Amino acid sequence: MMASLTRLGNDYRVWDIRSEVDFKKPGKGTITADMRISESTYDLIKEKTADGSKYLHWHEVDITDEQGDTVATVRKQVYYRLKQR
Q: Hey, where are the domains in the chain? A: 2-82
Position 46 scores a pLDDT of 95
Position 3 scores a pLDDT of 82
pTM: 0.85
Q: Topology of 2-82 in CATH?
A: Thiol Ester Dehydrase; Chain A (3.10.129)
Instruction: Tell me: pLDDT of 6 over 90.
Output: no
Where do runs of H (alpha helix) occur along 1-75? 2-8, 39-49
Tell me, letter by letter, the H, E, C secondary structure of 13-31: EEEEEEEEEEECCCCCCCC
pLDDT in tens, 16-53: 999 999 999 998 899 999 999 999 999 999 999 999 99
Q: Which of 46, 74, 39, 43 is nearest to 58 (CA)?
A: 74
26 bridge partner residues: none
